[in-house]
Structure 1
């Protein structure tokens, strides 16, 4: 736990970077000659952390030519009492520090041991437990950019993301066999029975959706009545989707896998009208990683970040693509447990499909909003006139309305709008 709220600008000095880079570069005589910093967080992109970008110029002991390193320092919001009140209960800082310090590097080792050099995430440079700070590779200078949360990912981007996610899930399952009780102790994502912080937002969004449905010619009173009856149950039904079930294939899931937590690099297609082809991807942000079914990640990804046409017409094909990589990686990594068949994975997806409803109706309107002025933690955790107006505004987005017109009848046919025991 963080011992004080000392501003990061006070301790992120040349001497600090010199100490950590000497260890990271394995050069005890490395000297830092210059550092430059800039903000790495924009409004609406992060509710719980502060990102600061650093360009560090340094000299290795055997080289007179300066080298440059590009790093991101991730810290909590410095002394913000509202954010601290909620996030300490989630223990997100300690969880993500564990991920960057121990779990992600060991996943990388697992893959490299079988000759797989595919990078799934940024390299960890240093984890400072005293200051609740994580320092990792800045991907932006390598021309990685965050996925387009407004447009949604196209098929090539989706397939590449599913490939990375399948490897992440496979490595997590195998790592659990080698680190008993470490990964399984990571229970609960940002929805959990012991912390109802986001329940007001879930209920507010269901009410906003119900009101939109009532005034929509294609939907109408039928959907409003069902949604309002479901409102009091939305949080518990969503949490159930996280529950580890003994009969299911379980692993370490990302827990917050949507557009802004995926970065892509592209290559130009030359004379082809200036278009670009996706080349590589990295997963970022692991503060909500937890032990659960991969179905949670898959439903969340498809219903927040994938282009609607793909979600409707190609989801089964893309799930099959994911499964083929997952099964292959589990075999290559010598997984001792049962490797789920495609049918077994689909059964898990159906069992936890309510999370697709939650992601599409509650999360996607927030994550595709072009107006982020009111996207703050208070509107996600409090029940007030301001937060209700915020939910109403999110449902005024024509894109959200069009998706809702398509998806609500689908979810209703699946029985997901019915209140059950």
Structure 2
């Protein structure tokens, strides 16, 4: 340091392999470019917003040390009191959920202000992940889990399993509707983080060794591969549905949205000087309702991965990338079922215990019901018609 003091700084890097499939995956999927752009363009502008607002609180992001587009991003990991969470402890309790949603609201508000100013490049952040392959995988997860529910959960779940099967062909269309709402009339767009896994974040449990808290008091985001521009509903779902503590999360879901996330979002929008039309609570609830299929399948996917707990087979992943043929068993390891086709995580007792409250929720809310699917698709068609009419009117000048 300039005063002669020496400090140990621990760097961490996101690096692109010099060759091979891992390089192809990072570059062609766009996930590396996203991280590079967030660290080099978005984060500095968020820091400027905080400075202008007199916000001297702990930032939500790590400090960039060095970066080279197409090659590496090096950032400094936080020091005392900070740690990452294991996959098994992803935002597991009510205080943690509240902290996560307040932090997410702050991130969303700053992103909304930067979008309003035209300071986030829209083309690079139009998709959370490559849409076609991601939707195929989501369809495979739903299809395979429907078989598991039908074959192992008992007769009382047979009807729901059948509805899940009937929904599989509609997943791609509905997910495209959910992730293509930025051009809807009066859409409120934010810069979504896109994921909420414990190992992608840092949690602070105290600033002194004299006292440590049982629950984290601050969060930092580390990786930004899934950042994208859209309405905030899917990000809110990610927080609530990505924890194995599903019964707690679902019990308090409405209260967390109405009394934690939404007031925090409105407060931060005002703090950072947002000048557009703010999201109403009613519209947020409508968007959450319309994207519940995504929430439920996301829960299946993330919690399955927690209990799979084996490394990804990159040879199998490369085959998927080249052919477009997907499997929920991405490890190359034979599962505990007969065919070996389905992820072994779906047969884990912890997965079953976590998913039953989610499936009860889906059944009660008719998430897989045909009428609900029709309502979402029909509503999207009406919105697209209104948007096309508005654009045409603006172009013609009426």
Answer whether TM exceeds 0.5 for this pair: yes
**Match of 2:141?**
205
Q: CA deviation at 1:395?
A: 0.6
Structure 2 residue 168 is the aligned partner of structure 1 residue 231:
yes
Find the aligned partners of 2:155 and 2:360 in 1 and give their Cα distance.
10
Find the aligned partners of 2:82 and 2:247 in 1 and give their Cα distance.
25
- 5+ unaligned residues in a row in structure 2: which ranges? 331-338, 378-398
**Match of 1:389?**
340
- Greater relative CO, 1 or 2 (CA 8 Å, sep 6+): 2
Structure-1-length-normalised TM-score: 0.76
CA contact (8 A) 1:265 1:279 kept: yes
Structure 1, 241-250 or 332-341: larger mean CA deviation? 241-250
Find the aligned partners of 1:199 and 1:397 in 2 and give their Cα distance.
24
1:332 aligned to which of 271, 287, 292? 271
The CA RMSD over aligned residues, in Å, is 2.8
SS at 2:12 equivalent: strand
Find the aligned partners of 2:125 and 2:117 in 1 and give their Cα distance.
16
Find the aligned partners of 1:302 and 1:166 in 2 and give their Cα distance.
14
The structure whose residues are more often helix, as a share, is 2
Find the aligned partners of 1:343 and 1:247 in 2 and give their Cα distance.
14
Find the aligned partners of 1:291 and 1:397 in 2 and give their Cα distance.
35
Structure-2-length-normalised TM-score: 0.80
Q: 1:406 to 1:287 in 2, by over 3 A?
A: same
**Match of 2:7?**
67
Q: 1:356 to 1:219 in 2, by over 3 A?
A: farther
- 5+ unaligned residues in a row in structure 1: which ranges? 1-59
CA contact (8 A) 1:170 1:330 kept: yes
**Match of 2:359?**
408
CA contact (8 A) 1:218 1:405 kept: no
**Match of 1:127?**
67
**Match of 1:309?**
247
CA contact (8 A) 1:379 1:386 kept: no
Find the aligned partners of 1:377 and 1:292 in 2 and give their Cα distance.
33
SS at 1:276 equivalent: coil
CA contact (8 A) 1:374 1:390 kept: no
Structure 2 residue 287 is the aligned partner of structure 1 residue 348:
yes
The structure whose residues are more often strand, as a share, is 1
CA contact (8 A) 1:238 1:358 kept: no
Q: 1:385 to 1:302 in 2, by over 3 A?
A: closer
Find the aligned partners of 1:264 and 1:313 in 2 and give their Cα distance.
24
**Match of 1:147?**
85
CA contact (8 A) 1:300 1:356 kept: yes
